[in-house]
Each structure stands twice: as structure tokens, then as C-alpha cells.
Structure 1
Amino acid sequence: MKFSANLGFLWSDRPYLDRIHAAHKAGFDAVELHWPYDTDAAEIRAALDATGLPCLGLNTDRGDTDRGENGLSALPGREEDARAAIDQALYYAARIGARNVHVMAGFAEGPDAHETFVANLGYACSKAGETGLLIEPLNRYDAPGYFLNTATQGKAVIDAVARPNLKLMFDCYHIQLMQGDLTHRLTDLLPLIGHIQIAAVPDRGAPDHGEIHYPHIFAHLDALGWQTPLGAEYKDPRPTDDTLGWLAAARA
């Protein structure tokens, strides 16, 4: 099994460029970013090239974070802003060679939000070129009011958009909190899944404790033929280098 370091959380006390080199030194097979837009794309690309690490993805801009926004693409009336964020993310992703863009829905609800999200995702799919697109359900405890909450809802959105370059980001942490039954959901949704992330439940720490027995998940994904690196997107109060025992165990 291969693993990707999510540099939105891991080594978050360091500049992005240093995080890429830290992930390489720690033995990760890839990296993924959250919102790297304050760092010049050419510098990110140079660090990726120097380490040989692929970038699996980044997120669209959250919007006005001072007002608590966390994505724009499901917000009726904000289509212009949402599409500008999509354009920005796709342009940056192309410059650094990122494989995917996660299109963030934001805080919204109801049929109008669904239709807005579907329309904006259709726009993104038409603009993406070789870049893949992802949507991610977020659990209602960490992100109350977020439009997309479950894998079931994510499938409905993907079916409505009906474009082959739109996939589901299956974060085991979020899906376990909202729906559970990870083994069967991974099996059933595998054709729609574009990326998988891992963290402990319920504390979102390193994936070596809690409700999810990750050795089982890893073995199951291996049996399914999953080959893309799994995204380690966890929060831990310890320095990241002190949390990586799970990675050594998985390698063993």
C-alpha cells in the first residue's frame, strides 16, 4: 500500500516547500495540498520535481473565511465567485502537475443548493482538461451545515453531473462518523472513488488507534486492486515526525 502526506495538516508548522521535502524524507509516496495559493506555483513544482513526489490534489478556495465560508460551489447566487475559484484551482493544478482538484461545496442546504452544485461541477468538468475533479462529504460534527455530508449524497451528485472526470473523495474519517460500514461502502463505490483519505476516529489523529482498524482497510483495498496512494490527512498535537509509527508498521 502506498501513502500520500496531506500537507494541509502534516508538518503544518513549516512553509509548504519544507513540508514537501519532509514528506519525501519520511518515505511518503506522494503529497496533497489544501490551499497553497500563497506560494508561487513554480516553487512548488520545483520542490515536487526535486523530490520526485507527485501531487495528488488541492482544494478550491474557501471564499471569505472571515465570514466562516468553507467553499462556494453549492451557494446559490455565488456562481461567479465559485467559478472563479474553480478556474484558479485548475490553473494552479496545471502549473504544479496536480492530478485532482477538490471542488468545495460550502455551507448550504436544499434543492437550490443541489442544483447550484451540479451546475458548477458541470462547469468544472468542462474546464478541467486532464485534471480530475473530486467532491468530498464532510461530517456534521466538524462541519455543521456543510452541503455534502454522506457518500450516498455524493453518489447522487456525481450521477446528476454525469461526467467521467468527476469522482468521490472517500475520507474514511468523515464516512465512518456519518455512515460507517467502510468495507462495504468502499467495495460498492469503488468505480466512483477518485481518492481515499485516512485518519483515526473519533479524534482525527494518526491512523493507529480508535474505531477503524486500518490494517483491515489496507488489506481490503489491496484485495480490491486499489493502487493510488492513500491520503494521510490527520491532526495530531505532536510533531509530525513523532506520529509516523503507523507508516512504518504499514510498510512492514
Structure 2
Amino acid sequence: MIRLSANLGFLWTERSLPEAIHAAARAGFAAVELHWPYDVDPALVRRALDETGLPVLGLNTVRGDVAAGEFGLCALAGREGDAHRAIDQAFDYAAAIGAANVHVMAGKASGDGARRIFVENLRHASRVGKEKGVSVLIEPLNTRDVPGYFLTDAETARAIIDETGCDNIRIMYDCYHMAIMGADLVSGIQRHLPAIGHVQFAAVPDRGEPDRGEVDYARLLPAIVEQGYAGFLGAEYKPRDGSTDAGLGWLADFRRRWRSEDGTEAAS
């Protein structure tokens, strides 16, 4: 079963978050995921989720000082207190809205010291997550979009998870980021599948709707499911003309192609 989720960090951003959740349901998505929803009352988000029946898959820890270029706090030396507060905030919000995961953002850092800090902060996140019933995700990002980001490949992500010794931390494998970094997506997902907690996708290289570019997602997404991935596939793309609704033709096209090629059942 192919189950697609809508990432509301990029989709329907002209609407309030509760309205965007309803828009995703009307479009036929089977779940939603968020970026940084903290300025919205979680009770309003939870109400929209209850009204639509959509699960929410996750949200991110805060970026930090965005004006200063920060993009996560959890591998930054001297910011351990800020990182713990960001983690606690994210898990509190996730629990309030019923989110399944929190993506713990490493930030822009490098070296063994940053790795040690990230591992310790992930252990804290793991403990908080177990208390709240919410799992932990870490995501490798590409260096073109986020120069200097600490985590840039799935191999390192998996090694860090092993180093933490925690059983509730998984990789968020974003096909767009990994393709920009030169990864072979089919073999990469197959190799790391036991450690993958969520998969995302967008066109390569422009991060637009997934119906054009270097990756044939209409073929790749069923292949990911066939490998044994049982989770949702997250549409985390930036609409090319700024309108989510105007660009949703790919969804119907993918459904038709899946039905015509192999009869794959899709719940978008």
C-alpha cells in the first residue's frame, strides 16, 4: 500500500495550519507532517486533525537564531541548554497534537566534538520521547541547500544511531537531499531500511512537484514499498508556481500510472 503524506511546511502555506490540514484531507493525502508549528495553538491543530481523521507524522525542533543562519541546535558546542529546551518543546508539542515523531535537528557544525554533543542530545531526546510516546528522527541534509550542516549522509546517521544505543531513533530519509548528495536511492534505502523511520521526496534538482526531474518517483515510490518499507511517503516539495492546488496534477497522474502498470493499490 502506497500511503502519501503532505508536508505542510511547504504545502498550503498561504493558509492557517488548521486550514492547511483540511486542504490536505480534501486533496486525498493520508497524513500530514509539519516543520515548526509552534506559533499555532496545539489545541487548534489537534481539532483539525480530529476533524479530518489524518494522523500527523512529525515536526522539527526549532532552528535557533534564523537571522544568524542557524539551522538546528543539537550538535552545537556551548548550546546544550538551548538544545535541551528545543527538544523538550518539540516533544511537548508533539504529544499535545498526537504526532508520531520529532525530527531532532543537528545544525551547522563539524568534527568529533559536534558528534559527541549530538549523540548526548539524542540520548536526551530518546528519554523524553519514551516518556511522551513519541519517536526520534534524524535527517541527513544536502550541502547545497544547507552548507555546513552536520549530518549529510545516511551511513553517518546510522552510525550515530548505533552510538547512542537508543532503540527509538530512526533516519528520516529524504530522497531529494540524498539524490543531491549523489546517493543511489534504491540501493541506499534497501541498505538502510532497518534504520529508516520515514521517507520524503521532491523533484531533483529543483525540489518542485515530483512529476519531473532526474528521479522517476512514479516508479521509485512503489519500489520503496516493495522493498518492505511500510510507512508513509512524505511529499515535501515546494510548488513551482507557489500554488499547491494548481500543482496537484502529479497526484492523479501517479495514481493512474500505478493502476495501469501493476495494479498497485495507493492510498494517497
Q: If the TM-score is normalised by the length of the shorter chain, which range does it land in?
A: over 0.9
Query: Is residue 32–residue 56 contact of structure 1 (8 Å, CA) maintained in 2?
Result: yes
Query: Which runs of 5 or more residues in structure 1 are unaligned?
Result: none
Distance 1:168 1:162 in 2: 14
- Output one character per residue of 1:140-188: Cα deviation in whole Å (capped at 9) or x when no partner: 0000001111111111111111211000000000001113210001111
Distance 1:195 1:132 in 2: 11
- Using the TM superposition, give the Cα deviation of residue 227 of structure 1 relative to its aligned residue in structure 2, in angstroms: 2.6
Please show how residues 128-147 of structure 1 align to structure 2 within 5 Å: 128-129=129-130, 130-147=133-150
Other-structure match for 1:164: 167
Question: SS where residue 2 of structure 1 aligns?
Answer: strand
Greater shift in the superposed pair: 155-164 or 19-28 = 155-164
Is the aligned partner of 1:251 residue 2:252?
Answer: no
Distance 2:165 2:178 in 1: 22
Greater shift in the superposed pair: 75-84 or 208-217 = 208-217
Other-structure match for 2:259: none
Other-structure match for 1:240: 244
Identity over aligned pairs, percent: 55
Question: SS where residue 5 of structure 2 aligns?
Answer: strand
Other-structure match for 1:214: 217
Distance 1:181 1:206 in 2: 20
> Normalization by structure 1: what TM-score?
0.98
Please show how residues 42-57 of structure 1 align to structure 2 within 5 Å: 42-57=43-58
Question: SS where residue 170 of structure 2 aligns?
Answer: strand
Other-structure match for 1:193: 196
After TM superposition, where is structure 1 displaced by more than 4 Å over at least 4 residues in a row?
A: none
- Using the TM superposition, give the Cα deviation of residue 247 of structure 1 relative to its aligned residue in structure 2, in angstroms: 1.2
Distance 2:117 2:91 in 1: 19
Distance 1:68 1:15 in 2: 26
Distance 1:222 1:67 in 2: 40
- Output one character per residue of 1:38-96: Cα deviation in whole Å (capped at 9) or x when no partner: 00000000000000000000000111112111100000110000000000000000000
- Using the TM superposition, give the Cα deviation of residue 214 of structure 1 relative to its aligned residue in structure 2, in angstroms: 0.8
Other-structure match for 1:3: 4
Is the aligned partner of 1:150 residue 2:153?
Answer: yes
Counterpart amino acid of residue 7 in structure 1: L
Distance 1:230 1:249 in 2: 16
Greater shift in the superposed pair: 79-88 or 153-162 = 153-162
Query: Is residue 209–residue 240 contact of structure 2 (8 Å, CA) maintained in 1?
Result: no
Question: SS where residue 136 of structure 2 aligns?
Answer: strand
Distance 2:104 2:183 in 1: 24
> Normalization by structure 2: what TM-score?
0.92
- Using the TM superposition, give the Cα deviation of residue 15 of structure 1 relative to its aligned residue in structure 2, in angstroms: 1.2
Greater shift in the superposed pair: 207-216 or 43-52 = 207-216
Distance 1:245 1:227 in 2: 25
Counterpart amino acid of residue 54 in structure 1: P
Distance 1:193 1:21 in 2: 28
Query: Is residue 3–residue 232 contact of structure 1 (8 Å, CA) maintained in 2?
Result: yes
Query: Is residue 139–residue 151 contact of structure 2 (8 Å, CA) maintained in 1?
Result: yes
Query: Is residue 150–residue 179 contact of structure 1 (8 Å, CA) maintained in 2?
Result: no
Is the aligned partner of 1:202 residue 2:205?
Answer: yes
Query: Which runs of 5 or more residues in structure 2 are unaligned?
Result: 257-268
Distance 1:47 1:177 in 2: 35
Question: SS where residue 234 of structure 2 aligns?
Answer: strand
Counterpart amino acid of residue 32 in structure 2: V
